[in-house]
């Protein structure tokens, strides 16, 4: 029997209550038809994977990926990270470079935007201060609507929906990967939806400048959910790189 020489692919999913490895089944199937063995693990706290403790730090997720690769006896992998999964993939590629053959990042988060961060801190503090007032009857009913509105206004619905992962969310999203980018030694493909409003194209362009062996592919008329909303287009964007 002929053994495939293609490196296995590990897909790291994004952050969101509805997200898990299973969200990427369509791209997994397309890659499988091309002869790739594809793994789509659930991060702790998502899908079928339990958090296991009160909250996780960013490095806990990096360690999870390392343990997953070790457990499955994978030597070198193609690491494909989407959104939050991209942030984890970037750090993993610097700490465990010997385990990464190629790196694919799509809508990857982690580049801080100072003005945006200041605005968000002000909103978080404001909500915290006003919360006791909204808990006074009869206006307590409106607090959840007010809270949802302010988080929507600063594009932090992931935090609003985090539930029991809210502390973990704050832990991991405070971490910048800006200084990790120049340390990435493997060939890297950046695939970005031109209309991505969650992680804008400007972040992809900065990553392309900072990662030594990076190439950016911009997919027109697509947004942040490209890998699972239009897997065919995403496959076309990564196929020649693989």
User: Cβ neighbours of residue 33 under 8 Å, at least 6 residues apart?
Assistant: none
pLDDT for the residue 16: 79
| Domain span at 150 | 114-169
> Are residues 45 and 83 located together in one domain of the fold?
yes
Number of folded domains in the chain? 2
152, 169, 186: which is the final residue of a domain? Answer: 169
pLDDT for the residue 147: 47
Residue 217, φ and ψ in degrees, nearest 5: -120, 120
> Are residues 56 and 94 located together in one domain of the fold?
yes
> What is the spatial distance between Cα 73 and Cα 214, in angstroms, rounded to a whole number?
28
> What is the spatial distance between Cα 29 and Cα 36, in angstroms, rounded to a whole number?
9
Could you please report the per-residue DSSP string of 88-144?
Answer: HHHHHHHHSGGGEEEEEEES------HHHHHHHHHHHHHHHHHHHHHTSTTGGGGHH
> What is the spatial distance between Cα 14 and Cα 23, in angstroms, rounded to a whole number?
10
> Are residues 18 and 132 located together in one domain of the fold?
no
What is the length of the chain?
Answer: 242
> Are residues 61 and 147 located together in one domain of the fold?
no
149, 169, 189: which is the final residue of a domain? Answer: 169
pLDDT for the residue 201: 95
Q: Which pTM does this prediction carry?
A: 0.81
> Are residues 26 and 102 located together in one domain of the fold?
yes
> pLDDT tens per residue, the chain (242 residues)?
344 578 999 999 998 778 889 999 999 999 999 999 999 999 988 888 877 676 789 999 999 999 999 999 999 999 999 999 999 999 999 999 999 999 999 999 999 875 455 555 555 565 565 555 555 545 444 545 544 444 444 344 343 344 456 677 777 877 899 999 999 999 999 999 999 988 999 999 999 999 999 999 999 999 999 999 999 999 999 999 99
Partners of 217 in beta bridges: 191
Pick left, alpha or beta for residue 35 (phi over 0 → left; psi -120 to 50 → alpha; otherwise beta).
left
H or E segment and range at residue 190: strand 188-193
With vertex at residue 115, the alpha carbon angle to CA 110 and CA 119, rounded to the nearest 5 degrees, is 100
> What is the spatial distance between Cα 237 and Cα 215, in angstroms, rounded to a whole number?
11
pLDDT for the residue 15: 86
- Residue 17 sits in a domain whose CATH number is 3.40.50.1820
């Amino acid at each position: 029997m002929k053994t495939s020489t293609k490196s296995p692919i590990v897909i790291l999913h994004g952050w969101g209550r509805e997200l898990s490895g299973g969200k990427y089944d369509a791209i997994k199937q397309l890659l499988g038809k091309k002869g790739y063995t594809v793994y789509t693990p659930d991060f702790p706290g998502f899908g079928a994977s339990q958090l296991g403790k009160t909250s996780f730090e960013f490095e806990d997720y990096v360690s999870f990926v390392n343990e997953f690769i070790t457990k499955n006896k994978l030597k070198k992998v193609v690491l494909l990270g989407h959104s939050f999964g991209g942030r984890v993939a970037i750090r993993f590629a610097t700490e465990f470079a010997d385990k990464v053959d190629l790196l694919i990042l799509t809508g990857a988060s982690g580049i801080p935007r100072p003005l945006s961060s200041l605005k968000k801190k002000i909103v978080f503090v404001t909500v915290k201060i006003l919360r006791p007032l909204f808990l006074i009857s009869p206006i307590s009913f409106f607090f959840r609507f007010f809270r949802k509105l302010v988080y929507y206004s600063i594009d932090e619905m992931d935090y609003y929906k985090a539930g029991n992962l809210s502390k973990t969310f704050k832990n991991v999203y405070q971490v910048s990967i800006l200084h990790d980018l120049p340390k990435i030694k493997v060939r890297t493909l950046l695939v970005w939806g031109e209309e991505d409003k969650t992680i804008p194209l400007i972040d992809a362009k900065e990553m392309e400048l900072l990662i030594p062996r990076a190439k950016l592919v911009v997919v027109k008329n697509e947004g942040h959910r490209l890998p699972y909303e239009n897997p065919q287009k995403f496959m076309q964007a990564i196929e020649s790189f693989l």
